[in-house]
Amino acid sequence: MMFTKRLRDGVRSGRITCSIRIWQSPRVKVGHTYPMEEGRILIESIREIALQDVTGDLARRSGFEGVVDLLKVARHGKGTNVYLVEFSYIVPGD
């Protein structure tokens, strides 16, 4: 899973533990790990949600200032399905 530069410190510190993704279909699997810089991201859950379910609180939990800020980053491809991905960061050596 890729994260914009401004979110990476929050992911590494554990402050950001979820992400809203707009994809055609899921791109990650629960229980799998994906590289992120020197560590890894462990996918704990993924579920499809409605765009209306993306609240300001959820956007802030994802590391954004609000819904508009989040959607500027999330809406960049052909996808129309909205997914809430919960994850944890695994530090190198763990």
- Domain with 17 in it: what CATH number? 2.30.130.30
DSSP helix/strand/coil, 83: strand
pLDDT digits (tens, 9 = 90+) for 32-41: 999 998 899 9
In one-letter notation, the amino acid at residue 87 is: F
Specify the DSSP class assigned to residue 92: T
Using alpha carbons, list the distances in angstroms from residue 89 to 7, 54, 77. 12, 22, 25
In a domain, 6, yes or no: no
What's the pTM?
A: 0.92
For residues 58 and 16, what is the distance between their CA atoms, to the nearest angstrom?
A: 11
Structural domains counted in the chain:
1
For the ranges 48-52, 62-66, 78-82, which has the lowest average pLDDT?
Answer: 78-82
In a domain, 1, yes or no: no
